[in-house]
Chains A and B, each alone.
Chain A
């Protein structure tokens, strides 16, 4: 871990300014992913701005009937919040499927969105990785790729996004509120928030340097039966091979967001429209452009089986 200076921000604007002013500065909140990466020198900030003191830890109703979740709300608190449990069960379920109790007690809403991939080659600084070291190549594509992405991949990167929470946020059409160093703010629909790897897998979101997430806003509840199904080798404390966050309405329509298969939460409104023709059709459209490796081809079958099961079960 490189040496860094450490400051506690006292306001959102100050935090944004401090990071914006230095190219090598970073925010730290829960720290559960950042410190992990800093120890391995995958992240090497020279300046850490601790935002834990900012009052971004509230969950409140929006005038539209939705929910504004402060960026610093801990994963445990978000999952345990009464309104979330009642109206956004998918979000609770997704959070609780991730990490461990200890990690959820520290990890924050914004930090969870910004988790970096768990690709083992990204984590090993001896190995080439276009995400960690642009232009160095990708060791995963012809290497160990069982965990990796099958859709939206590029020749530069087949990493997945590891967040469970983000899958739920995508299915629930969350928007992300930010403040930049210049004092302006913006609202980013989650569908626009993440990028596919393309030729620049090191750029993962549309956030600018120094732009701080202040809240994640959920629109009014969509009802339906909400399911988060996470598949992994061991029963807990593991990243997803495949996960599906779904909202199933009584008429068989609904929403499907998939984790463990892409560089971002994978959802297709086109596929959802196909639900009217049966879940098999929807899954086929969802995975239509899959480019699996020999080792992760099973993920395509798995998604199809899971979508079929979730929608058949809910209707039956």
Chain B
């Protein structure tokens, strides 16, 4: 099915199941320990061996030689496979750095060997016996130093944009801001480390892994192994978090496949936690310069955003300027991205790539500008709202209610009680509030599904869609139940298997809307097949209460299925509605913080997000997406930073003790409000993404609240106490 006209009324609009707070259909499995993740016993009869990865000890250079003799002699060892053994390989389409193979070391902890043994303990011990000789080379690791040599990136989406005459308008503006902001490298730090089990049968590979994108992994794994894609059966039924860190083929899968081949039996490999940060991808650090010019009445006349980031050769820039092209009005605009070569681990997507770090900067800048204008930052944002793409005014937003989010949020949060900076004290803390807009584009991906109706009236839906905690199992079950007019417990959802139709996968907050739309399309086919089987007129057929009705005839669905059942399969593809209309999601974040007057420790006291993201398919799981994003934003604001050792070229704090993500005690009760809206331009579901929207702007709202509390403006994340302490009042 091609979605090329705005949606009109369809069976989803009944909202008998969709739109309701249905508890997760996989909830019982997850809370009783019965959900099976990549590294676990999918086939208890399988005689697994254990693979232990060895990571490079240098950041850049070549592997001269690898001595595996001691490792091979160690107790229980079945095989050792080195990067030299497998040699240079064709790289996966989605990988920037080589995952495994060849003598070139592109980053610290890049996989150089895997040791296979009968037990986990034996494999780990033998791993330490692998002796690697390197020829190290000098590398570039410091973004601040490499910035000067940064270049306009090839291939990325519009590195430079310009409308009107930014420089002149900025020079002429009576009120201006010109400030530089910094966001650090960040780690996905999902709770389940990357893990895979590989089993060969002749030349056919079965692999259980932890992947957000089944088809990308399958293709890139086949490419790396040099085998036909059809020979790879890849499964990822449960994923212990991804946040972008499991979008692209990673070393665990490649190592497991080579190891299983070498050992002649199935092998499981998990990345040891201390390897995850440097072996896999991360969100790249940025330096961002923002310039805003406005009239005294607050209207923005010039807005410019430049961003510098680094990556390995062949990599991409962090798209930190993107939201600035769309979020606020202003006749004269300019954005630019520059990419420096850095020999750190591969930079790549992490939850809301582009907008997450971009909004961290832009929404502080907006707060600073409002202050210069002596305006309420909520009102300043409202004044500069735009209902059209500011670069192409003929192109409207499909639906945009940023103003509604800001107004409702301000009211619910008690925004009007906000005081001047550094004026409110309670129990030894300076108290402040902050606001930021939330903005993230709505992306659409082709997505397929197969729906089967059986003679017992049960419906099974199969798609290679993944559930990374987002609730895909549940919203897909809801979609099928709604489309086919059955109770949700009549629906079985099977996900994450390369034998199923290729879906959108999970990423870019496109998964919820895209995958349910693919399921919608498949259900339309199945409904037609049911109607045809029963000889019903498809125009007036109604699926409801487990029955199919047409005119005065009503038949139980099970009866229509017949002995062999009926199948509907289709893929949703997208026309040009996202070209004619800008599709984005909007929100507002409000935060209250307390900053310890003695130590400068910031603790969050209240958080509210108001989101406008089209139809909310399941308010329970959507709320979870948003509170989770708010929590990640709290980490981004206050503690998360992969610290670069600029001499040795690696992320130093590469475990969960050193890289501090928020804990329970950091997070207060969180409020989330969804605007009641639909977006008929987005899909027949009329839904949009929400999982990344919730992250965009949170950190800036916290930064702005810290400023309101202390009067100290920090433009360099994370906002740790050492950056505040110099500006705090003297201790008596």
**Interface residues, chain A, CB within 8 Å of chain B?**
1-3, 39-41, 118, 120-121, 123-124, 126-127, 139, 142-144, 146, 229, 231-239, 241, 298, 301-302, 305-306, 308-309, 312
Contact = CB atoms under 8 A, between A and B. Distances in A.
Contacts of B647: 142-143
Query: Which 7 A-B residue pairings sit nearest by Cβ, starting from the closest?
Result: A235-B665, A298-B722, A126-B57, A236-B665, A309-B598, A308-B731, A233-B639
B601 interface: yes
Given A233-B639, A234-B662, 9 more contacts: A120-B652, A120-B654, A127-B648, A139-B645, A233-B660, A233-B718, A234-B663, A236-B663, A305-B731
B721 A231 contact: yes
B121 interface: yes
B731 A309 contact: yes
A136 B377 CA distance: 54
Nearest to B634: A234
B653 interface: yes
A125 to B, nearest CB: 8
B443 interface: no
A301 B725 contact: yes
B2 interface: no
Contacts of B732: 308, 312
Contacts of A238: 657, 660, 663
Interface in B391-429: none
B537 interface: no
A41 B125 CA distance: 9
Contacts of B664: 236
A3 B129 CA distance: 13
A3 B643 CA distance: 34
Contact of B653 (A120, A229, A241): A120
A146 B652 CA distance: 12
B666 A118 contact: no
B655 interface: yes
Contacts of B648: 127, 139, 143
A123 B125 CA distance: 17
Which one of A40, A118, A126, A239 has the highest number of Cβ atoms from chain B below 10 Å of its Cβ?
A: A126
Given A237-B663, A308-B732, A302 B599 contact: yes
Nearest to B127: A41
Contact of A124 (B125, B274, B665): B274
8 contacts: A118-B658, A127-B648, A144-B652, A146-B643, A234-B662, A235-B663, A237-B665, A238-B660
Contact of A3 (B125, B601, B662, B720): B125
B598 A1 contact: no
B688 interface: no
B603 A235 contact: yes
A308 B721 CA distance: 17
B643 A144 contact: yes
B665 A305 contact: no
Contacts of A139: 645, 648
Contacts of B655: 123
Given A121-B652, A298-B722, A301-B725, A234 B638 contact: yes
Contacts of A298: 721-722, 725
A25 B648 CA distance: 34
A81 B599 CA distance: 30
B731 A120 contact: no
Contact of B599 (A1, A142, A144, A231): A231
B128 interface: yes
B731 A312 contact: yes
A233 B721 contact: yes
Given A118-B657, A144-B653, A233 B125 contact: no
A212 to B, nearest CB: 27
A1 B663 CA distance: 29
Given A143-B647, A146-B722, A234-B660, A123 B274 contact: yes
A111 to B, nearest CB: 17
Given A143-B648, A231-B599, A1 B653 contact: no
Nearest to A236: B665
B124 interface: yes
A247 B121 CA distance: 47
Nearest to B719: A233
Interface in B225-242: none
A237 B664 CA distance: 10
B666 A235 contact: yes
B313 interface: no
B75 A306 contact: no
A232 B638 CA distance: 11
B57 A120 contact: no
Contacts of A143: 645, 647-648, 652
B27 to A, nearest CB: 24
Contacts of A124: 274, 652, 654
A305 B598 contact: yes
Interface string B274-307: 1000000000000000000000000000000000
Interface string B619-648: 000000000000000000011000101011
B731 A144 contact: no
A1 B660 contact: no
Interface in B705-732: 718, 720-722, 725-726, 728, 731-732
Interface in B654-705: 654-655, 657-658, 660, 662-666
A303 B647 CA distance: 30
Contacts of A237: 663, 665
A305 B599 contact: yes
Contacts of B718: 233
A204 to B, nearest CB: 19
Contacts of A236: 663-666
Contacts of B601: 231-233, 235
Contacts of A306: 598-599
A233 B124 CA distance: 33
A241 to B, nearest CB: 7
B663 A239 contact: no
A43 to B, nearest CB: 13
A38 B242 CA distance: 29
A127 B725 CA distance: 32
Contact of A1 (B124, B721, B725): B124
Contacts of B654: 120, 124
B725 A305 contact: yes
Nearest to A309: B598
A1 B124 CA distance: 7
A258 to B, nearest CB: 13
A101 to B, nearest CB: 11
Contacts of B645: 139, 143-144
A82 B57 CA distance: 50
B198 to A, nearest CB: 24
Contacts of A142: 647
A239 B639 CA distance: 13
B479 to A, nearest CB: 39
A120 B658 contact: yes
Contacts of B58: 126
Interface string B34-65: 00000000000000000000000110000000
A302 B722 CA distance: 9
A298 B665 CA distance: 24
